[in-house]
Each structure stands twice: as C-alpha cells, then as structure tokens.
Structure 1
Amino acid sequence: MTALAVEVRGLRKQYGEVTAVDGLDLGIHPGEVFGILGPNGAGKSTTVEILQGHRSRDAGEVSVLGADPASGSRTWRSRVGIVWQDESAPAELTVRETVTHFARYYPKPRDATEVIELVGLGAKADSRVKALSGGQRRRLDVALGVIGGPELLLLDEPTTGFDPAARRQFWDLIRQLAAEGTTILLTTHYLEEAEALADRLAVIAAGRVVAEGEPAALREQYGTDATVEWSEPDGAQRSERTATPTRTVAELMQRFDGEIPGLGISRPTLEDVYLRLTGQENAR
C-alpha cells in the first residue's frame, strides 16, 4: 500500500447470497475531493462504512490514512470525520450543546461557534435538535462531521433534504475544507453536485468501479454523440445525433446558404455518461 490517503484493492463484501462489493479498487490522493456515483444497491454505502471501520470486509486490502480501518485506534478515528446517511444528533440538546459536546471527543477540534456558522445554523444555535427541519438536521450532521478538524472527511449523501440555497452553501464549505487540505470522499445522487465539487469521480455498478477519472475526461471518453438541432424554413424542428457535429453544421450552412435558424448543439452531460455506464440509458 502506498502513501495515498485512501487505497482499496480487491475489496469484497457479501450479505448472504447478495454480493454488495465485488473486487472494488480505489485510490484517493491527499487533499483530493473524490466522488463516488452509483445507483442504489451499487455498493457505495457499504464501501464507505468499511472505510470508516464501521463494517467488516470479507476480502481485500484497505488503507485509510495509513491504517487498516478494521483495527483503527482512537487516535486514527479522531483524524476521520464522518457524515452518516442517518441522523446522529440527540433530539433534546440544542445545536450549540450538541456541537460543543461532540467537540470534546477530539484532541484539536474546530471552534464550535465557527462550525455552526459554517453550516448555516447560526440563527438556530440555541434551538433544540427536535425543533429543526429535516434540512437543518442534515446541516447539523455535517457540523458534527467537521467539528474535529478531520484530515479525511467521509460524506455519504450529505445534502439529502437540503434546499438549493443550503446545498450551495454546503458546496462552499466543502471547497473551503479542500482548500485547507482536507481529503474528502463524497457519495451523492446529485450529478450537478459531483461535477461541481469532485476533482475525480468513480462510477460504481454492481459492486465494481466501471469508470474513473476527472468529470470532463469521463464525458469525453464515455459520452455518446452530440445532438444538433435546427429549424426548417416551414418552422418544423429537426435534430440529428452525430459523432461529427461540426461537419453536420457545415452541411446545414451550405443548405441554408448562411445562418441556420434555431441552431443548437448539445453534447453529452455527466448525467448521460452516468446513465450509460450504469446501464440506465433508457430509464430517462
């Protein structure tokens, strides 16, 4: 195993007859924001739980910050921040009490008031957790994940339940943490979020990595044909899928003798690539 922040080789996990993770490989560099995409049941959460040391594995090698999470020490755990899918905050405490309490578990925590402001809960600092909305509780979960000043932050679908403004605020927080040198592993169903935040992405299907790389590189490598759209003189809308959109436009210019009415060219999005890689291309 190397000096990667996270290195996984041949990871396997089975639940009875079901293989959740099937020989998965990953390598995440220090300071990188790494996204994992995949449909429900692809093995994303199981993988993250194994990296956390929360779940055992059946086979494979795993190194997280230089240690095997299956036997991680208390010191090692203090270096890893986690935002679970499920809420973890006690309902009767206030936001401030909760964050302050969790800060005591870490040798060098961030300032509790600063973290509460970072996640957008400053106005709710003295509200009880049970009085928060679902999105506000999710923000509190993020606060508990970052309060320890982790070297590695594991985020399992962290913005579920966020409204658009809260999601953008969370993105700013992730960018700030990354700029400070935090390594971040993110699973998400939001393709826009993955593209906005991740330096690299891994697409998982049936427990295996089926593609990995920078978002732009994945679109380039796995994207399907571009779509050229235009309007005919009678107003009818036409479109054509083509691997050579420039040639199609040149042919249209010759036919129209100049300007092409209603011309539009759309290239494959990350969503198109994701659906193709996970076998859901016809599910749109």
Structure 2
Amino acid sequence: MKTVGVLTSGGDSPGMNAAIRAVVRNAIAKGCRVIGVRRGYDGLIQGQLEEMNLSSVADIIHRGGTILRTARSEEFRTEEGRKKALNVMKVFGIEGMVVIGGDGSFRGAEELSKLGIPTIGVPGTIDNDLAYTDYTIGFDTAMNTVVEAISRIRDTSTSHGRANIIEVMGRHCGDIALHAGLAGGAESIIIPEVGLDIEQVCRKLIKGKNRGKLHSIILLAEGVGGAIELGATIEEMTGIETRATILGHTQRGGSPTAFDRVLASKMGAKAVDLLIEGKQSLVVGIKGNEIIGVDIEKALSIEKKLDKETYQLADILSM
C-alpha cells in the first residue's frame, strides 16, 4: 500500500487530533503517502483532500476537536454519493482509508470496504457507546470535564443549600453520567439503561436533608429527559430548591487527557499497521491493555450493556 487516506466523521471528540497525528506519522514511517480528507464523508464526495506530511500534524496532540473538521453526510448514504466518493479516491490514488468516528462513521467505513477500498475504523466518540471496546477516544476527557463541573457546582450548591441537576450527554448510553457521577460523588445518577424513578430520587434528597446534608448533586443523562423539567418536578415534590445545569457541548471540547492522547495514538498507529498488513473491514479497540482489531459488522452487532456493578456501587456510596 502506497497511499492512505484519513478522515474524521460524526461528532468530534477530544483525542481525534492525536489519532490523526498517529495515522500520518506511522504511515509516513512505513513509506506511505497520506491524504487528509476534510469534513468527513461529505468532504470526500466534494474532493476536499490534501496531502499531509510530518509538519501537518505538528503541535496538535494536545488540541481538542479535529484539524480535519467533521460533518454528517446524507449524500454518502446513497449509492450515487458513494460512487462519487470512490471516484475521488481513485483520482487521489487512495488505496486504504482510516475512519475516525462513532457507529455511523463505522457503517460508512464498511461501505467503503465493500467498494474495494480497505478501511479501518478508529472509535472516536465521547459517549463510550461501542460495546466491543472498553473505551472510546474522548470518553475519559468528557468524564473529567463533568467531574470538574460537579466540583464547581457543589461549591455553590452547598452555599445555598440547594439540589442541583447536571445534565450530561448520553442519549442512549449512560456511561458519562455513571462514571462521572461515581467519581464526583453524585447522590443520584439517572441513565437511559435504568430510567427515572422520581420517587426514589426524592426520597434520597429528603433523607439527605434530614441528616444535615447541605447539598445534593443529581447526574442526568440527556436520553432520559430534560434537567429543567426534572428540577421543577423535584422542587414541587420535596420543597427543596433545585437548580439545573446543562453542560452540552462543553463535554466535547477542551484538551484531551493523557489517557485519551495515549489511547488515540495507539489506535491510530494500529489502524495503519492493519492496512499495511492487508486487513480491511476492521475497527480497532482496547480490551484490557491490548489494542485489538474486530470485524466491523461484528463490532456493531454487539449490544452495549449496563455495567451493573458500577451502577450498584455508585448507589451504595451515595447513601
């Protein structure tokens, strides 16, 4: 293989730049040219490509977001759109592609492989919603962002004797809320896998107040409902003043943690190695301390399940 392409697709996540850097530098070290695709599959269709070199990825390992930018592409979902993308890749001589993104990006990667372009996926999503891998790039950073927010909100919550609801990302997967809630000492963690038991949440708040607690933190994954509406309901049911904070896209931004930088570097380099070995239709992941390659179709078919032990531990420790 002489020419490798790389793109980022879907929602951005901290650590994507570290992965891009690893792809570019490992490919060049192995004697390959690297073509960067701007704005994901949409940019691929439109021919927004340029050759990358060692300097292209200098001083980016610490930066959040993605220097290649990202976008969602409805056109790539069509057969005509994929044919346009294939023609562009042929013009630029791309023989293999590394796709950094989430499950939707991986489905696009699978389509590229079907068109005859060996493709390897790298999991870049803060949600940690891909079951085949222990961690996705960006999850650790997003979790730490939430933990920092919990600490700040707890200060003001204690001063006023309030309950605070913090709404975090996680439409279908509650990993951010669960892990940040455990690390931040939240009294209640509400996630899509379990749902909302409003009476249980209120009981905890009242019991805490009766034994002298000056504050209460409730972590809410966005997939369960809205923080403002929930706050109004809790205040009405308990009489405890309740405020809501929606962290939104702050969870996607910021400099990646050391963990995410190392993980992204290992995964990006592994993706290039797999392409050079002649592999395709794989996604890289981490199990234990090992960077692995898994068939895309198999990876996407594995159901993401709730970590019940962690959820139960968080519940016990929040008493």
TM-score bracket, shorter-length normalisation = under 0.3
Instruction: Pick 1 or 2: higher relative contact order, CA cutoff 8 A, min separation 6.
Output: 2
Higher helix share: 2
TM-score, length of structure 1 as denominator length: 0.28
